[in-house]
Structure 1
Amino acid sequence: MLIVRSFLIPVLILMICLASAGCSGNTTPSRSTYSVDSGGTLTLSCAPVTTSEEILFTNDTYTKSRIILHTENGDVVTYLAAPKMPKAAILYVPGAGEKIAGHEERMVRYASAGYAFLFVDIRGNGGETAGNPFSQQLIQEDYARFEKGEMPQYYLSICDLISAQKMLAGKFQIPVYAMGSSNGGRYATVAAGIGPQFAGYVGISTSDWGLRDSVLRQGYTGDTVRFATSIEPGTYIGMISPRPVWIFHAEKDPIIPFGNGQQFFAKAQEPKTFLNFSGDHGINSDVDGKIIGQWAQIYAPRE
């Protein structure tokens, strides 16, 4: 949970329904659907969601809140830090096991710089949102769903990100960027690639899953390859253009090799930027500083 200084201000609770996120009252939303073409590219039709927001803390600089996306397949928890009039928003997808508690200072830093920062607790990441973590077991379960024409959890997670983008854009009327670290960068790539409403993409310590290459080496064909291709980030990173792509990778990354990050970057189209950063794996203060510095130029006041 976010750290709240309750002695500074009483906790305010506000439950609201955001129409921009597809609020439909008591009406049951339609179901999310998908299609995957012969080349393995995913197309999603995401059912509208309702939302509820709990304000945790507010002052003259920013407001922190917990926003729940009520989807047709369970609740997805997010946390937002935002100034009153943000210039742009970041939809952040965490890496495996990343919890909101590790991002408190980061959220305040972005909000203080003029940007809204939304942490999405994706399905199965071990936080407050139910689901199974990305693993060999989940791949097998999702493939079984795919074969039956049912909605894989992986696809549902992409719909969650698309719904969160709509919520943010509707709330503030500003550009929303998909950003993810490690595994989260992979989910964010797919969302930004198939979701033209995202303003751009930031990937940190990320790459392809390597699943498609693995099944091809094993001699699989047909639906197996089509499904593997549909969840591979490299299928979509080239689709983000002409929106900007930033890739951050540390040379000393012990989990996803630096060369893998470079290969992933090579699949992106212009405009794109590759930046090395100090550290090893995952988002850190050096990455934050570089992003804020880059965007300070993009969103600088115009005379």
Structure 2
Amino acid sequence: MTRGIVACAGLTLLVVLAAFAGCTSSSTTTPSYSVDSNGVLSLTCAPLTTTETVIFANDTYTLSKLVLHTTTGDVVTYLSYPKTPKAVIVYIPGAGEKITGHESRMVTYAAAGYAFMFVDYRGRGGETAGSAFSPQADYAKFKEKTWPEYYLTICDISSARAVLATKFGVPVYAVGGSNGGRYAAVAAGVDRNFAGYVGISTADWGLKDSVSAQGGSGDILRFATSLEPSTYLPLISPRPVWMFHNATDPIIPYAYGQELYATANAPKNFTEFNGDHGINADVDTRLIAQWAQIYGTQT
């Protein structure tokens, strides 16, 4: 989904939901969320339990289905890992990506010494229930002081990190492609326990700019700002930000990716990769080489 298309949702957001104008106070309950005057989201996520079912195991890796049992529904993930991973990738996929398209990738990362989790997040139409991303519906919940699904998804990603950090005791990175890169950026900014962020073929939603262009202010602008990756990229430093984009990306223009990258603070790196849109073997090779400089080669 391009930033321009989502920006149209921002137009509707202002026009349709202007009637909700007013002040929003931070929730004092637990779990809770709050959004400050700069549009930065803070979360206290509900505790959860997990169920892990091993699908396959050999000398190279174990593949399992790991379900996060949250108070608002189950979130399905798939996890591959070697016996002693050096780091973990929490991967948030783009629209239409299926776990079957990542099977060989999971083997590749495991062979290199890294665990890889594929998160089937809410609203993707997969195994996890939920509604497709709707800023209008989520803003209505924000005004009602109930949980927007977008915020629940950020909690799911943060909770996945906590589960994996406990399971393996190694650094966990938030990684996402296309729309998934947007969610991953927010999660890495909100949860400072992520070791870093990797965004692939991604950019801002364009909601904040769209609402601002229409003269929106107050709660509606604060809410729109809370959804944007660029709100959180500066907060990731001093943890690394690595972004990948193809110059001829047919879905999210290269210039949009550069605009998002410009909001990040050092250390950061922007790489043009070979392909078109989304994670591919070239990105995998570059990422594994990058991590090899940090964690050493597989022994």
TM-score, scaled to structure 1: 0.88
Q: Deviations over 1:199-229 (max 9, x none)?
A: 0000000011010000111111111001000
Pick one of 148, 153, 156 that aligns with 2:152.
Answer: 156
2:85 aligns to what?
Answer: 86
Aligned residue-pair number: 270
Q: Deviations over 1:60-99 (max 9, x none)?
A: 1110000000001000000000000000000000001211
Alignment partner of 2:208: what SS?
helix
Alignment partner of 2:212: what SS?
helix
Pick one of 227, 244, 248 that aligns with 2:244.
Answer: 248
2:53 aligns to what?
Answer: 54
Deviation at 1:194, TM superposition (A): 0.9
Q: Can you give the 5+ residue segments of structure 1 that lack an aligned partner in the other structure? A: 1-29
Cα separation, 2, equivalents of 1:276 and 1:166 = 31
1:233 aligns to what?
Answer: 229
Q: Deviations over 1:138-193 (max 9, x none)?
A: 21110000001000000000000000000000000000000000000000000000
1:133 aligns to what?
Answer: 132
Cα separation, 1, equivalents of 2:118 and 2:93 = 7
Cα separation, 2, equivalents of 1:123 and 1:99 = 14
Contact kept in structure 2, 1:98 and 1:125, CA below 8 Å: no
Paired residues for 1:258-273 under 5 Å = 258-273=254-269
Contact kept in structure 2, 1:31 and 1:72, CA below 8 Å: no
2:141 aligns to what?
Answer: 145
Cα separation, 2, equivalents of 1:131 and 1:124 = 4
Q: Deviations over 1:37-64 (max 9, x none)?
A: 1111110000111000000011111100
Deviation at 1:32, TM superposition (A): 2.8
Cα separation, 2, equivalents of 1:197 and 1:264 = 22
What letter corresponds to residue 132 of structure 1 in structure 2?
A: S
Cα separation, 1, equivalents of 2:106 and 2:167 = 18
Paired-residue identity, %: 64
After TM superposition, where is structure 1 displaced by more than 6 Å over at least 4 residues in a row? none
Paired residues for 1:16-95 under 5 Å = 32-95=31-94
Q: Deviations over 1:99-142 (max 9, x none)?
A: 111100011100110000000001011210011122xxx21110
2:95 aligns to what?
Answer: 96
Cα separation, 2, equivalents of 1:233 and 1:53 = 31
Cα separation, 2, equivalents of 1:86 and 1:57 = 17
2:12 aligns to what?
Answer: none
Cα separation, 2, equivalents of 1:39 and 1:203 = 23
Cα separation, 2, equivalents of 1:150 and 1:45 = 14
What letter corresponds to residue 200 of structure 2 in structure 1?
A: I
Cα separation, 1, equivalents of 2:189 and 2:93 = 18
Cα separation, 1, equivalents of 2:259 and 2:216 = 24
The answer to whether residue 173 in structure 2 is matched with residue 177 in structure 1 is yes
Paired residues for 1:284-295 under 5 Å = 284-295=280-291
Alignment partner of 2:147: what SS?
coil
2:189 aligns to what?
Answer: 193
The answer to whether residue 170 in structure 2 is matched with residue 166 in structure 1 is no
| RMSD (Å), alpha carbons | 1.2
Cα separation, 1, equivalents of 2:295 and 2:257 = 27
Alignment partner of 2:54: what SS?
strand
Cα separation, 2, equivalents of 1:262 and 1:140 = 27
Cα separation, 2, equivalents of 1:274 and 1:109 = 23
Paired residues for 1:192-211 under 5 Å = 192-211=188-207
What letter corresponds to residue 127 of structure 1 in structure 2?
A: G
Return the structure number with greater relative CO, CA threshold 8 A, min gap 6: 2
Cα separation, 2, equivalents of 1:163 and 1:205 = 24
